Amino acid sequence: MMNKKEDEFLFDDKKTKKIMRKARFWSTVKMIGVTLVVTPIVLIALWYGLRTLSLNSAQKVMDDIHIFNEISAPNVQISNQVYDDNLLGGKITTTTYKVLGVQHRPYIWKPIKSNYNLFGTLTRTATSSPIQIEGSESLAETYQIERFNDYTGDREMFFYHPKISYDHYKDNISELNQLEKNTLVELAISFDDSYSFGEIKSKLPSEVQVDWWWVDAYTDDTLDFFKQGQNTISANDPYIYGFQSEQSKPKPRRSSNDEVETFIQNIELLRKSKNFEWETNQVYQALVGENGAMEKSDVKITGAVVTGTPEQLKSLQGQTYIKGSIFGVISNQK
């Protein structure tokens, strides 16, 4: 038979266990409550953080695409950019157009589709090859066969580099008189040499609208490779560089900034970016002077894209500094 002290001990032990169970219960309830409150807050904060990072990354990539288009893409301008983002990145669709003639008629061109990751790096840009109908018997002929854009069906322009000797040069300027007078024509002209910006502007007839200038941005190694097959440089090639002419813009949109200086600034901007770093470093290596910097005098012009009616472009006939000329878009005015 238990004495009084033993009985009190058992009673206290049971009471303690009951209190502990009750404490554990309320501790669990409290923990669940805190979890239920905190978890949504953490998830919302995480979602908001990732969403903000994704949106900032989308904007950065769109800016890089826009700047790269400014130093490449002959006579192709951006009209709009739309992104479809998710928490890990997203897709960007860049709609583009060309400018035709002194009235700056827009001509819808192929959109650019790109993927980017959460950290603002392009992971993929959709590429495609132009349509080629004819065959050829030699490599040199292959680079001069007519090709057509796989989105619009229009001719793709190409250029002749002045440091490469070609067996044949096309002269589409001589065919302007075969076109109807209300036609708007896009024409790639290749020069016989590399000229300073001021020098070539003074040579071209004043009535001819230049929409894009082709810059000689090729290293000696690249040109040696091109010489082996008499490569022409297609307007849709990833290694063609230049800049949009202010003349191609409606007067209210024209800038007073120096076009060559803007080109150099855009190269420097993209060299600091994760996107297009390799491409712009290639341009930098080709253009940088002995002083280790790119200057206006380092930028030489080897060709241009001009647009207008056949009558407006006829003044290019007989210009001895034009080595070759290739039709691009040919459109009837509406």
What single string gives the DSSP state of each residue in 16-80?
HHHHHHHHHHHHHHHHHHHHHHHHHHHHHHHHHHHHHHHHHHHHHHHHHHHHHHHTSSTT-EEEE
CA 132 to each of CA 146, 154, 156: distance values in angstroms, whole numbers, following the listed order? 7, 12, 10
- 15-24, 66-75, 95-104, 313-322: range with lowest mean pLDDT: 15-24
Instruction: Summarize pLDDT for 166-181 with one digit per residue, the tens.
Output: 999 999 999 999 999 8
Q: Long-range contact list for 274-282, CB < 8 A, 24+ apart?
A: 274/120, 274/121, 275/61, 275/64, 275/65, 275/68, 275/120, 275/121, 275/122, 276/64, 276/68, 276/122, 279/68, 279/72, 279/238, 279/239, 280/68, 280/71, 282/217, 282/219, 282/222, 282/239
- In angstroms, the CA 70 to CA 68 distance is 5
Please indicate whether residue 136 or residue 236 has the higher confidence score (pLDDT).
Answer: 236
pLDDT, average across residues 146-153: 89
> What are residue 12's phi and psi, to 5 degrees?
-65, -35
The reported pLDDT for the residue numbered 126 is: 65
Residue 293 pLDDT > 80, yes or no?
yes
How does the average pLDDT of the chain come out, rounded? 86
The confidence score (pLDDT) of residue 10 equals 47
Residue 216 clears pLDDT 80, i.e. is over it: yes
Residues sharing a CB contact under 8 Å with residue 227, sequence separation 6 or more, in sequence order? 163, 164, 165
The pLDDT value recorded for residue 283 is 93
Please write down the long-range contacts of 203-207, taking CB distance under 8 Å and 24 or more positions apart: 203/319, 203/321, 204/304, 204/306, 204/316, 204/319, 205/315, 205/316, 205/319, 207/312, 207/315
Q: What is the pLDDT of residue 9?
A: 47
Average pLDDT rounded to a whole number, residues 273-289: 90
With a pLDDT cut of 90, the percent of the chain lying above it is: 56
164 Cβ neighbours under 8 A, 6+ residues apart: 223, 226, 227, 230, 231
Q: What is the pLDDT of residues 184-198, one digit of tens each?
A: 999 999 999 999 999
Comparison of pLDDT for 54 and 7, the residue scoring more = 54
What's the CA gap between 301 and 190, in Å, rounded? 9
Give, in degrees to the nearest 5, the angle at Cα 123 between 81 and 89: 65
- Do 184 and 169 meet the contact criterion of CB atoms below 8 Å apart? no
Residues 6+ apart with CB under 8 A from 110: 96, 149, 150, 151, 152
Q: Look at residue 222 in the predicted model and tell me its pLDDT.
A: 92
Determine the pLDDT at residue 142. Answer: 60
Token pair in block for residue 78:
């951006």
User: Exposed, middle or buried by CB within 10 Å (0-12, 13-18, 19+), for 60?
Assistant: middle
Banded pLDDT at 300 (limits 50, 70, 90): very high
pTM to 2 decimal places: 0.84
pLDDT-derived band of residue 290, with 50, 70 and 90 as boundaries? confident
pLDDT digits (tens, 9 = 90+) for 217-227: 999 999 999 99
With a cut of 70, say whether residue 7 has pLDDT above it. Answer: no
Q: What is the pLDDT of residue 184?
A: 96
